[in-house]
A and B are shown apart, each in its own frame.
Chain A
Amino acid sequence: MSKGEDKNHQWICDKCKVQLKLKKVKVKYLEGNFEVELMKCPSCNIVLILEDLARGKMLEVEKGLEDK
C-alpha cells in the first residue's frame, strides 16, 4: 500500500460515520471530463481529496487543460 493510500485510510465520513471506499468518480475542468478512482463516502457520496493530490497531479492536469 502506498503512502498516499495509507493517508486516505485515516479518514472516515464524519456525518455518516462510515469508512470511505475507493470508487470511480467523475471530475471535470474546462473541456476535460475524466473518471478517476477516489475515496468517497458510500452513503453521502462526499469525495476525499488530500492536499498531495490537489497540489500535485490535480494542479498539473488543471494547468495542462488551461494551456490546451
Chain B
Amino acid sequence: MDLDKLLETGDKCIHDEPPSCEAACPLHLDVKTFISEIERGDLKKAYKIMEKRIPFTKIIGRICDHPCEAHCVRKEAGGAIAISELERYVVTEGYSPPKKTLPMPKNKGRVAVIGGGISGLTAAFDLDRKGYRVTLYEKSNRLGGGLWSYAGKGLDSEIIEEELQKIAAMDIELCLNTSLQKDDLKEILQQYDALYLATGEWQEKLQINPHSLQVEGTSIFAGGGLIDRESMVMAASSGRRAAISIDRYISKVSLTASREREGIFETPLRFETEDEEPLNRVKKTEAVFNREEAAKEAGRCFKCQCVKCIKACSHMRSFNISPDAYVRQINHNERIILGTHYANKMINSCTLCGLCREECHLNISMKAVVQETRESMVEKNKMPVSAHDFALKDMAFSNSQRFSLVRGQPSKEQSKHLFYYPLISYSKYVQGLFLGTGKTAYLFYPGCQLPASFPDYIEEIYRYLVGSLKGDVGIYLGCCGAPADWAGRKQQADENAKEIRRRWEEMDRPTFILACSSCSSIFEKYLPEIKTISLWEIFADYGLPVSNNRIQERHILNVHDACATRYNTKIHDSIRKIAYSLGYQLQELKYTKERTKCCGYGGLVYFANRQQAEAFVEERVREGSGDMLVYCAMCKDLFVSGGKKTYHILDLLYGNATKETGLRRMPTLSERQYNRAMVKKRLLKEIWGEEAMTAEEEFGYNLIISEDIKHVMAERYILLEDIQRVIDNAQRNKERFYNVENSSYLTRLRMDNVTFWVQYEEMESNINILSVYSHRMEVVEE
C-alpha cells in the first residue's frame, strides 16, 4: 500500500481546516475555541486564547476593526457573529495577569525598530521575546502612535498607558523624541543586524515584498502604515510578521518557506448553512455584552467544521473519527511491525458504501481507502481471520455443488410434452419454450442472498423471464464474489470472476440478468466485459408478472436504494416505476439514490462488528415515517431485524406485501443455506426434470433447538449443520463428557479452523440442545 499517497488523501480532508473567520483574522485568533469558552462561561480561558494570538490584547480587543466578521458564515443566517463585541466583553470581564516568564538572554542580534505605533510595538515585543536586543525609536515623546486617536472612543487612556507599561518593563532600549530620516538609515544599519520600519510615512517609495515585508533584499523590513493605513489589526499583524522575517533573516533561514498562512488567507473549509435555522444577532443592552447576552451570541456560532460525511456515516460517528484522523490511524496501523494493530476493528467496520465520497466537497472516498487497506492487510497476512471467516465459508457454500448451477433454457425437444392446447395458448412460459432457439441470450443470475431470502420466488421469476424475453434464458446460481471483495481478498474475488467469465464464454456470452445490487457492483468492477441488465429494469420495461396474490392494501413507502448501486439511475427509476404501477405512493428519504445509506450489511460489517451493523440499521429505520421499500435481500433482513416494516420489491410483485410480510422474521444463517440448496433442487426438478445429485446429509435423530439457542447460533455464526456434525461424531464415537449432576452431554468437534461445542441432553429419539459455542484456538489433545 502506498502510504505516502494515503497520507496525501488524508491531507486533502478539510475537516479541521480553520473557519473563515480565523483565516480572515490577520492575527489568526482561534475564534471557534474562543467563542466556545464564552459559551461555557470560562472567560479566563477565553482571554488566554486571545492573549495567545493578539498582542496588547486589552487594547486590540477593544478597537479591532474585525475583518473576520465580514467572512462569518452566519452572515446569511441572521447576521455575522459579533466577534468584536465578544472580544470587548472578554477583555473587560476575563482578564487575568499573565504568568511571569523569564527574560530570554539577548544574544541573537541587534534590531532597530523605527516607529512606536502598534506595528512597531508588536515587532519590538516579539523580537525581545525571541532573544534580540531591540532599540525602539519614536519621533514623539510617547509610545502608542495612532492608538491615542482611540482614547475616549471605546478605549480609555488608562488602558493604553497600562498596556504600554509592558514595553517599558522589558529590556527594550527606548529612544523617544528621535525622528529618523532616510539619510540616517545608513548609519543606523551599521549598528544593527536588521531594521523594522513601522512609521506611518516615509520619504521615499519602498519596494516591500508583500510576503516577507523585506525591502528589496536589504536588512530593512517595512510594515505598519507603510503597507496599510486603515486597519489596526493589520498593523499589529505586520509587526508580528516582520519579527518572524527578521528572526529568519538574521538566522539565515528562508524568508518565504511555509508562511502561506501568515496573513489573511482563504480557507478551504466549507460549511453549508442551508439547513441551519436563521438566528438574529443578540443586541447588547449596555456598552458591553452582559454574561447572558454574550453566551447567547456565542451560541449562534456554528463552530464551523466540515462534518458532512461524518453526519451521514454511522461508522465514522461510532468511532468518533474524521477522514483525516482515520487516514492517520490507518497509516500507523500499516506501519506497525511488532505490536497491536489497534485500527483493525475500525477498518473492518466500514460498510464500503461510498456515501462519504458523495458527501465530500473534495470527493474523498474512504471506501477506496478502506478497500485498499483491507487488501493490504490480507496481503501481509494481518487481516484478523475471524472477521470475515463465516462470510467466506458461506460464499464457498454458494459456489459448491450444494447451490451452484448453470443451465440453458430447456430445449424444445425437452419441453415438447408442454406444447399442447390450451397450455400453449395461455402460458407465456410455454410459449417462450416453444420459441426456444438453443442459443442462450440471457442468463438469470439471482445471486446468493435473494434465493436465500426468497426461495419461493426464483422459479416464478425464471418462468416470467422465459415468457417475456426474446431469446433463450438460462440460469446461473452462485455467488458473485462480493464477500471476497469486501474482505479484501482480491485474488479470491478475481478467481471467482474468472470462473463466471468462463461460464459466460461457454454459454456464448449471454447478457446477465442481475437481481442483486452487490452482484451489479461486482460485475461492474471485475467483469466489465459482461453485458448486464437488472431484473427490475426488465419488470419495468417488459410488463409486470401476473400474480393473483397481490394485495389491495397500499402503504406509503419510503424507498431505500441499495448502496452498491447508488449511481445506477436505471435501477432507481425501475424500482419507482414498478411501485407506482402497482399503485403505491412513494416518499423519498433525505438520503436517497446516489446519496443512499447502507443498511449495515455492506463491507461484511454485519460479520466483523455486529454492533456497528445494528447502529446503521437503527439510524436508517428512523429516517422515514412510512414503511420501507427495498430491493436488496440483505437490506430487508436487517431492517426487519430493526423492527421496521420492510417490503422487498418482490413482496409487492408477487403479492405478499401484507403487514405480516413486512415484519416476518427472515431466515437464519442455517436456513439461508438450506433455502439455497432447496432452490437448486426445486429448479432442477420443476424446470429441467432432473434430480439434484447432492443428497442432504441424513442424521438419525431429531434436534430440538429453542428460539433462544437459534439466536445464539446466529450471533456466534454456528450453523445447524455444524451442530448436526458435532452431535453425530459424539453419538458415534462417544467422544463426549457426561455431566453427573444433570445428565447432559458436552461434546466438541474441530472442523476446519473452528472447534464447535454442543451441550445437549438425550430425550428418547430427540436431542435437546442446551448450549452451543465455539473457539478458534486449537487445543492439542495428546
Contacts and interface: CB of A to CB of B under 8 A. Distances in A.
A64 interface: yes
How many residues of A sit at the interface, in one of the four size bands? Answer: 20 to 34
B: interface residue count bin = 35 or more
Interface string A43-62: 01111111100110011011
Nearest to B344: A67
A29 B778 CA distance: 6
A28 interface: yes
A38 B735 contact: no
A46 B749 CA distance: 11
B52 interface: no
The secondary-structure label for the interface of chain B is mixed
B251 interface: no
A59 B780 contact: no
A46 B748 CA distance: 9
Contact of B738 (A11, A29, A54): A11
Interface in B523-550: none
Given A11-B746, A12-B738, A14-B736, A45 B781 contact: yes
B271 interface: no
A17 B442 CA distance: 63
Interface string A9-32: 011111100001000011111100
A62 B775 contact: yes
Contacts of B340: 64, 67-68
A63 B773 CA distance: 16
B777 A29 contact: yes
A66 B385 contact: yes
B491 interface: no
Contact of A58 (B735, B737, B775): B775
Contacts of A45: 781-782
B775 A59 contact: yes
Contacts of A44: 735
Contacts of B742: 10
A45 B781 CA distance: 5
Contact of A25 (B736, B771, B779): B779
A42 B339 CA distance: 38
A45 B774 CA distance: 19
B384 interface: yes
A48 B341 contact: no
Contact of B781 (A14, A20, A30, A40): A40
18 contacts: A10-B741, A12-B737, A14-B738, A15-B735, A25-B780, A27-B779, A27-B780, A28-B778, A49-B757, A51-B771, A55-B773, A62-B776, A66-B387, A67-B340, A67-B344, A68-B339, A68-B340, A68-B341
Interface of A: 10-15, 20, 25-30, 38, 40, 44-51, 54-55, 58-59, 61-64, 66-68
Nearest 5 CB-CB pairings of A with B: A66-B384, A26-B780, A14-B738, A11-B737, A15-B734
Given A15-B735, A48-B746, 20 more contacts: A11-B737, A20-B737, A25-B780, A26-B782, A29-B777, A29-B778, A46-B737, A47-B779, A48-B737, A49-B748, A54-B773, A58-B777, A62-B775, A62-B777, A64-B340, A66-B344, A66-B384, A67-B344, A67-B384, A68-B340
